[in-house]
Structure 1
Amino acid sequence: MLQFGDCQSGLVYRDRPTAFGLLVDEGRLACVRVERGAGSYFDLPGGAVDGDETEAQALVREFIEETGLTVRPVSRLVEVAQYFRRTDGTPLNNRGGIWIAEQIAFDPAARVEADHELVWLDPVTALSRLRHEAHAWAVTSWLRQSTRATRA
């Protein structure tokens, strides 16, 4: 597993099982803009695995909650970890899969996280805007695989 982020001395980072997804439509990548005023940021859709959920189940739930998109997990692209601090300062280490997803449906009313907005970005633009290095690395890995597949 690749570990990203800086582990600051003196902080205890709680491991947090997660699942995030890459969904592409017409060449654009689904991202979420999380509204935090001056501290707003972009993430891949996804988040914590709750209770007895599998990563795939968490991915489906998180996509609906954050974007209103219903997706089907297609394949697990990579497993990564990311040290970071939540907006409230809590140190976490997100650990889990980043999945390729396929869109099944879209219902904007299904989105329940009011501070999350679905934004479609060119994948190269997303690389510079995504908050987590692990997410940017996954997008880069996916782009390289897609390019190789196109050339084959």
Structure 2
Amino acid sequence: MLQFGQREPDLDYARRPTAFGLVFHDGRLACVRVDRGEGSYYDLPGGAIDGDETEEQALVREFVEETGMSVRPFARIAEASQYFRKSDGQPINNIGGFWVAEQLSLDPAAKVEADHELVWLHPHTALNELRHDAHAWAVAAWLRR
């Protein structure tokens, strides 16, 4: 599995199973802008797998929580890991799959994460703007198909 990010040798990185999604509409990619003031950033929708969820179940839940979008994952196109530090400073290694998914519906009232905003970026813009190298790599892998 590809590993992205720089591991700081004195930190213990928690292993976090994850799933992230690529949804395209009119030539644009669904991304989330996470509002952290001047430290705001872009991610692919998705996140941690809870309990005994499958990657697909986690992805469906995360899309609704972050964007209000209902999706149907249909193709797992990549797998990668990403070392990073969460906003609270906790060192994490996200490990999991990247899925192409179909948008089924959009209900902004269903979104529960107030600091997340659905934005549609051109895939080449996303390559430059996504916070995690693993996310940009997954977009590039999809573009090269």
With structure 2 as the length reference, what TM-score do the two structures score?
A: 0.99
**1:52-101 alpha-carbon deviations (Å, 9 max, x no partner):** 10000000000000000000001101111000000111000000000000
Corresponding position of 1:106:
106
- What one-letter code is carried by the residue in structure 2 that aligns with 1:69? M
1:16 aligned to 2:16? Answer: yes
Corresponding position of 1:95:
95
Q: Could you tell me how far 1:129 is from its partner in structure 2?
A: 0.3
Corresponding position of 2:73:
73
Q: Could you tell me how far 1:126 is from its partner in structure 2?
A: 0.4
Q: SS at 1:120's partner residue?
A: strand
Q: Could you tell me how far 1:2 is from its partner in structure 2?
A: 0.6
Q: Please state which structure has a larger fraction of its residues in helix.
A: 1
| Matches of 2:22 and 2:2, distance apart in 1 | 18
With structure 1 as the length reference, what TM-score do the two structures score?
A: 0.95
Q: Could you tell me how far 1:13 is from its partner in structure 2?
A: 0.3
Q: SS at 1:37's partner residue?
A: coil
Q: SS at 1:78's partner residue?
A: strand
Q: Could you tell me how far 1:9 is from its partner in structure 2?
A: 1.4
| Matches of 1:77 and 1:57, distance apart in 2 | 16
- What one-letter code is carried by the residue in structure 2 that aligns with 1:94? N
- Correspondence list, 1:118-137, <5 A: 118-137=118-137
| Matches of 1:139 and 1:75, distance apart in 2 | 13
| Matches of 1:105 and 1:38, distance apart in 2 | 31
Corresponding position of 1:29:
29
CA RMSD of aligned residues (A): 0.4
1:139 aligned to 2:139? Answer: yes
Aligned residue pairs total 145
| Matches of 2:122 and 2:64, distance apart in 1 | 21
| Matches of 1:38 and 1:21, distance apart in 2 | 25
| Matches of 2:55 and 2:29, distance apart in 1 | 20
| Matches of 1:142 and 1:53, distance apart in 2 | 25
Q: Percent identity between the aligned chains?
A: 69
Q: Could you tell me how far 1:38 is from its partner in structure 2?
A: 1.2
**1:100-129 alpha-carbon deviations (Å, 9 max, x no partner):** 000111101000000000000000000000
